[in-house]
Homo-oligomer: A and B are copies of this chain.
Amino acid sequence: MQSIEKEAAIAQEYLAKVSVEAERKFDVYLPSEKDRPCRLHEAMRYSMFAGGKRLRPALVKSTFDMFGGKGESVWLAMSALEMLHTFSLIHDDLPCVDNDDFRRGKLTSHKKFGEATAVMAGDALCVLAFELMGKTGNAQAIEILAHLLGTFGMIGGEMTDIECEGKPVDLEIVDYIHYHKTAALIEASLQVGAMLAGASDADIQKIRNYGRSIGLAFQIVDDILDIVSTTEELGKDAGSDVEKGKATYPALVGLDKSREKAKELYEESIRALDGLSCDTGILRAIAAFIITRVN
């Protein structure tokens, strides 16, 4: 087995390559700034092209390819997943929610376009994502994606995250928040990719377990970086979790134990891929990237 750093480098190369292709598709699927309502379309594009790792599209594509998927539907789903992620970021940054001024080193949507436009831009990206998913022709994938996005998934995690700010919480709540806020959409990306490729239920279950582990690991690493990195490195306000009294692993168990937990989750994610007969190289590399990343 290669060193974890080498694995991570493979993932970074893969992410860079997929980003370029995915962004070309975003440009096709996103409405033009020349079409009415122009400023809303501008706001949607601003946030979609504000950078980011494009992790979710890469997870859709790697899973789709791994299971031998063919055709254009993967690009629709990749774009949909990035739109849903962006929708959640825009609404989370709003003054009434996390009140963040910067995201990925750029002004947040409401700082740039005003609050009303930011609310609508988030809404419009969410709705456009489902339009693209409708074009894949796979209604079952839409049902599962929406479920993992809703109050029993991502939105449930975000809401609980907001409600728990500044309150004493236990590890059960932190796990609930992290799993729902972050892991659910990562799991959804993998599952949608697998479903569009026609993977078996048993294989989808393995992929979901992998997603749950890397999703939790991703959020723990995020919370560690919020403490140990600078605002410049992160492209968003560092130290904001502590300031807001956010429920995080480092806040509850400290940095060292949080790093240990991320490592354990990494190992769990690799084990979850056991028994898949296809080439899981990229997914293993992405897991390594997730726990070694620095921004």
Residue A143 interfacial (CB < 8 Å): yes
Question: For the complex, would chain A's binding face be called helix, strand, loop or mixed by DSSP majority?
Answer: helix
Asked if A134 and B144 make an inter-chain contact with CB atoms under 8 angstroms apart, the answer reads yes
Residue A169 interfacial (CB < 8 Å): no
CA–CA, A133 and B143, complex, Å: 7
Q: How far is the CB of A155 from the nearest CB of chain B, in Å?
A: 5
Residue A238 interfacial (CB < 8 Å): no
Asked if B116 and A152 make an inter-chain contact with CB atoms under 8 angstroms apart, the answer reads no
Residue A139 interfacial (CB < 8 Å): yes
Asked if B133 and A150 make an inter-chain contact with CB atoms under 8 angstroms apart, the answer reads no
* Residues of B with C-beta under 8 A to A142: 130-131, 133-134, 139, 142
Interface string of A25-46 (1 = CB under 8 A from B): 0000001000111011100100
CA–CA, A127 and B133, complex, Å: 13
Residues of chain A from 256 to 282 with CB closer than 8 A to chain B in the complex: none
Asked if A150 and B163 make an inter-chain contact with CB atoms under 8 angstroms apart, the answer reads no
Query: Do A155 and B127 form a contact, CB below 8 Å, given A37-B160, A37-B163?
Result: yes
Residue A9 interfacial (CB < 8 Å): no
Asked if B156 and A127 make an inter-chain contact with CB atoms under 8 angstroms apart, the answer reads no
Besides the known contacts A120-B155, A137-B139, 4 further A-B residue pairs in the complex with CB atoms under 8 A apart: A35-B152, A37-B151, A127-B155, A134-B143
24 of the cross-chain contacts (CB-CB < 8 Å) are: A37-B156, A39-B159, A40-B156, A41-B151, A44-B151, A91-B119, A91-B120, A91-B123, A94-B116, A119-B119, A120-B155, A120-B159, A120-B162, A124-B151, A126-B126, A127-B146, A128-B150, A128-B151, A130-B142, A131-B143, A131-B147, A131-B150, A134-B144, A135-B143
- CB-based closest 5 A-B pairs: A134-B143, A96-B115, A131-B146, A134-B142, A37-B159
